[in-house]
A and B are shown apart, each in its own frame.
Chain A
Amino acid sequence: MSATAVHSLWTTAGGVTSAAPGDRFTAPTIEYAQLAPVLIVVGAAVLGILVEAFVPRRARYTTQVFLTIVAIAAAFAAVVGLAADGYATKNAHIAAMGAVAVDGPALFLQGTILLVSMVSVFTFAERRLDPAAGGNRVDSFAAQAGSVPGSDSEKAAVKAGFTTTEVFPLALFSVAGMLVFPAANDLLTLFIALEVFSLPLYLLCAVARRKRLMSQEAAVKYFLLGAFSSAFLLFGIALLYGYAGTVSYAGIANVVDGSVQQIDPALAGTMGNDALLLIGGALLLMGLLFKVGAVPFHMWTPDVYQGAPTPVTGFMAAATKVAAFGALLRLLYVVLPGLTWDLRPVMWGVAIVTMLGGAVVAITQTDIKRLLAYSSIAHAGFILAGVIAASPEGISSVLFYLGVYSFVTVGAFAVVTLVRDAGGEATHLSKWAGLGRRSPLTAAVFAVFLLSFAGIPLTSGFSGKFAVFKAAADGGAGGLVVVGVISSAIAAFFYIRVIVLMFFSEPKADGPTVAVPSPLTMTTIAVGVAVTLVLGLAPQYFLDLASQAGVFVR
């Protein structure tokens, strides 16, 4: 695009607004009630910052935990209320001047994100695992995030028993962004939501109490690669604007399917240019595929999952994936349905390499967190198979899978926080040898999660896998199903390997012990197990919920 084109765009755009200063301005109508879930969470996050500023240090932890849990519960209640008012089905519409959709998928995903965040926050608030420092019980987060690792100021902070209670408002901001992300109905809202949930996550990754350098390294990697992906996304948005003359989903979709013929004079040179559409759409997809961790945009996943504090890893692995897949679904089904056939080969390719790549590389891993990271990549591939199905059934199967997967993931990472030795969490696989002999219950619970990841029948993982594979096969993607079952077989190998290690290996003398957590983490794990078994045995109710919620508003 030449400089003059840019010039004309700006001058024309300026001309339109300056033609009628003031009198043509209409105040935007904001449906506050329908945005309540997001507003509650953002409000609580802002309050949380004030708490950091004004509440005495001793009382901060209790206040923050209370505030966070109440806010998430209230937001969830708001989601349920909206769904009960029929916003998920017949009353679905687009709020805030076309910026945010309030419809079935949005509400379903928001509900899932909120529940998952709730149980994740429980693990954030866990204070019985790490030995007390400075007379205070401490959690998994650094005493003082700003102090250089190994420095005197760090030692002083540890000795004083400081804790980083800022993690709670940060998590709330992130949740707020995630709530908006799958509901965003124009590309700018999408981008802002992306940044709102990503920036706090970069920070959260950096504040581990143990292995701080690794944690900071992970945060930097995540930030840099995340910034890249944001740039791709933004570039894609710009190109799509050039193509359609609007950033609203419905507007772009109308141009794509040809129902809008009128060409914006400012964009006469570019509008309707399919090259822009294809490149812009592809860049946009790249940005989102980065967030879901699909191959070849997955490079950040293992390092970040390993380096981040484990509660954050669980939260990130579960909630981010839900939000990002939600946005991906909306983008593909609302904005680019006209491109289904153009994008299909690409998406097929991405899904296949993601399934196989995640499963194959996971075999070689020796760290439990990295292993789960690669497993999450393989799962992203399975979900993509459902996304590609391009049918209402595909949408609902993906919604269901996301719900299933996120609870198992949070539960699995919660178990990882329990297995500890003198150096903190013992994440190297060799240390897990014989865990089943020492702590049969913990090992059994983890085995349940692993079997669910592996998709063994009677666990939720199987229901989810079956749902997406069935949708994919119905949608004519039988080839993906075959690749899916092959990579499931490969993936089963490394899940089973961990089970072998836990149950059939002799425990080592200096092996880790299983810490006894507070009721908070126990709740997280119990919820994970309950969801795994209930959705494995009787998934019908939730499948109904997902299929009712499976229609996007336009």
Chain B
Amino acid sequence: MSFPLLTATAALPAIGAIATAAVPAARRTAAKWLALAVSLATLVLAGIVFARFEPGGDRYQLTESHAWIKDFGVRYELGVDGIGVALLALTALLIPFVILAGWHDADPLETNSSRWRPTQGFFALILMVEAMVILSFTATDVFLFYILFEAMLIPMYFLIGGFGDRAHAGSDENAAAQRSYAAVKFLLYNLAGGLIMLAAVIGLYVVAGSFSLSEIAEARANGSLDMATSTERWLFLGFFFAFAVKAPLWPLHTWLPNAMGEATTPVAVLITAVVDKVGTFAMLRFCLQLFPEASKWATPVILVLALISIVYGALLAVGQRDIKRLIAYASISHFGFIVLGIFAMTSQGQSGATLYMVNHGISTAALMLVAGFLITRRGSRLIADYGGVQKVAPVLAGTFLIGGLATLSLPGLAPFVSEFLVLVGAFSAYPVAGIIATVGIVLAALYVLVLYQRTMTGPVREGIGSMPDLKVRELAVALPLIALLIFLGVFPKPLTEVVNPAVQHTMHDVQKKDPQPEVEAAK
């Protein structure tokens, strides 16, 4: 038996989390370094996974399979396809930056309490989330995926509720109340989605008699498993609902601005750049593969929801006065693009959606983390409290600008490639949808540039004058991310190469052909 590489990639951060949590209260800094080291080692393992993955090979590679709970028909089955491997790499890549950016976010305010160890807890929880996300990107057993999908909520919940943004307007008590409200809202939305999915998971087992993705897909393909149309639709809806909450798709999105606003910026990045990707990833892997007919049946409605998300998210982003909430609404708009790409059911659309997931992760991380550095300096999230930052802290302003330009998909930066592919895919199948989605791009330019103009340009505002520029730690976060955005914008081949074959498999699952000869886009 070969070395269980995927298990190791997931187990390392999990073990690291326990080790970090066990560091004594006084050795706070040691815990931080340990967490960073673990996340870097995980990145190395993820790199090996990425390197070992052969784009032209089997659909699922590096597979592992062990009996787990026989009575439930559950196996511990792992395997990655091109989509999984891209997202796994994204996750492993972002976590070190999240940890670095949150270096001081969980320092205890008073150092007298010896038993309360928030710092250790903070980094342990981040690593725990990483382990669960990695495992969920690699699970090929529906039950295993479900368990991780749900269990992930608990560490996320504690990260949101337990470690608030210090830069909160208003009293401490008010901040704590809002934070706990945001955490509870996050948990209840996602838990409700997950429980509805549980009913569908059980239903799937009753119908199919197995939880193995490959077994069910095979049985469906050779006709030995015949699902009644209505059954398939109900099960699809059960799964899709959970993923749409997680993604988040309008009108199930309202938890995201609260959660991202109240959480510390690294945690906000963790939510939107990493954890939420599980939702869109699962639409591709589970909804399309297990319920192809129902997916096609639901496409019109989902496309409408995606378009509403794109326009509505962007419009609300324009109107925000709070930097973090602005980025949250921008993310909702972007998730609309991802869903649009997935359900356009063209290969460009789906390749684009997968690339979009990766690129959105990187660009949001860059923008949000730099915004976090800004907010920490001034102690306010309100756009109105800023102005003229570029005169005082030019490097900060510059990195913020690049992050922002990536968010509005400027050509030359990575998100442009994916947005372009999604739009091409959408145009070729549903021209009207493509046209409406373009509105989102225009609005994106508006909210990003207005944000930049109001915060960075103009006269230096009160309280900004003494603002220090980025420190070494902060540069170590911002610069690599920007470098990546540029690199993937100019040379997306390493990603497209891995993603495209997987997309062909998915297209085959839904038995869709591209409406016209394939465009060799963005090669």
Contacts and interface: CB of A to CB of B under 8 A. Distances in A.
Interface of A: 437, 439-440, 451, 456-458, 462-463, 466-467, 469-470, 473-474, 478, 481-482, 484-486, 488-489, 492-493, 496-497, 500, 503-506, 538-540, 543-544, 547
A500 B71 contact: no
B316 interface: no
A485 B148 CA distance: 18
B422 interface: no
A451 B157 CA distance: 12
Contacts of A503: 158, 161-162
Which residue of B70, B116, B150, B199 has the most chain A CB atoms within 10 A of its CB atom? B199
Contacts of B162: 503-504
B195 interface: yes
Contacts of A478: 199, 203, 206
A298 to B, nearest CB: 23
Contacts of B113: 437
Contact of A504 (B115, B151, B183): B183
Interface stretch (B184-192, B250-258, B277-285): B184-192
Contacts of A488: 195, 198
A473 B195 contact: no
25 contacts: A440-B117, A451-B154, A456-B151, A456-B154, A458-B151, A462-B147, A466-B198, A466-B202, A473-B202, A478-B203, A478-B206, A481-B199, A481-B203, A482-B199, A486-B195, A492-B187, A492-B188, A492-B195, A496-B187, A496-B188, A500-B184, A504-B176, A504-B180, A506-B173, A544-B71
A493 B195 CA distance: 13
Given A500-B180, A503-B161, A505-B180, A543 B71 contact: yes
Nearest to B144: A457
A476 B154 CA distance: 32
B430 interface: no
A470 B202 contact: yes
A489 B191 contact: yes
B176 A540 contact: no
Contacts of A457: 146-148, 150-151
For the side of the interface on B, what is the size category? 35 or more
A226 B452 CA distance: 71
B298 interface: no
Given A437-B113, A540-B71, A547-B71, A506 B191 contact: no
A473 B206 contact: yes
B98 to A, nearest CB: 21
B188 A489 contact: yes
Nearest to B73: A470
B203 A496 contact: no
B381 interface: no
Contacts of B180: 500, 504-505
Interface of B: 68-72, 113, 115-117, 146-148, 150-151, 153-154, 157-158, 161-162, 173, 176, 179-180, 183-184, 187-188, 191-192, 195-196, 198-199, 202-203, 205-206
A457 B69 CA distance: 13
Given A440-B115, A456-B151, A467 B184 contact: no
Nearest to B205: A470
Nearest to A506: B176
Contacts of B158: 503
Contacts of A481: 199, 202-203
A541 to B, nearest CB: 10
Contacts of A506: 173, 176
B245 to A, nearest CB: 12
Contacts of B153: 456
A435 to B, nearest CB: 12
B206 A504 contact: no
A492 B71 CA distance: 26
A111 to B, nearest CB: 19
Nearest to A484: B199
Contacts of A456: 150-151, 153-154
Contact of A500 (B150, B161, B205): B161
B154 A473 contact: no
Given A437-B113, A473-B203, A489-B195, A540 B68 contact: yes
B202 A497 contact: no
Contacts of B183: 500, 504
Contact of B147 (A458, A504, A538): A458
Nearest to B150: A457
A485 B195 contact: yes
Contacts of A496: 157, 184, 187-188, 191
Contacts of A539: 69, 71
B190 to A, nearest CB: 10
B191 A485 contact: no
A496 B181 CA distance: 11
B365 to A, nearest CB: 26
Contacts of A467: 71-72
A390 to B, nearest CB: 15
B210 to A, nearest CB: 13
Contacts of B198: 466, 469, 485, 488
Nearest to A393: B71
Nearest to B201: A466
Given A456-B154, A504-B161, A504-B179, 13 more contacts: A440-B117, A456-B153, A469-B202, A470-B206, A485-B198, A493-B184, A503-B161, A504-B183, A540-B69, A540-B70, A540-B71, A543-B70, A543-B71
A278 to B, nearest CB: 31
Contact of B69 (A451, A486, A505, A543): A543
Contacts of B117: 440
A437 B148 CA distance: 28
Nearest to B195: A485
Which residue of A456, A497, A506, A543 has the most chain B CB atoms within 10 A of its CB atom? A456
Contact of B192 (A440, A470, A484, A489): A489
A505 B183 CA distance: 13
A544 B71 CA distance: 7
B352 to A, nearest CB: 32
Contacts of B70: 540, 543-544
A493 B188 contact: yes
A540 B72 CA distance: 9
A469 B157 CA distance: 26
Nearest to A470: B202
A505 B181 CA distance: 11
A457 to B, nearest CB: 4
Nearest to B193: A489
A493 B192 CA distance: 10
Contacts of B199: 469, 478, 481-482, 484-485
A482 B196 CA distance: 8
A540 B76 CA distance: 13
Contacts of B154: 451, 456
A497 B180 CA distance: 10
A539 B183 CA distance: 30
Contacts of A505: 176, 180
Nearest to B188: A493
Contacts of A462: 147, 150
A482 B206 CA distance: 14
Which residue of A451, A485, A505 has the most chain B CB atoms within 10 A of its CB atom? A485
Contacts of A482: 199
Nearest to B121: A440
Closest 8 CB pairs of A and B: A457-B147, A543-B71, A485-B195, A504-B180, A489-B192, A457-B150, A457-B151, A485-B199
A471 B173 CA distance: 47
A469 B203 CA distance: 10
Nearest to B153: A456
B498 to A, nearest CB: 30
Nearest to A483: B199
A19 B518 CA distance: 98
A451 B151 CA distance: 10
Nearest to B179: A504
A366 B176 CA distance: 21
Contacts of A439: 115
A542 B23 CA distance: 35
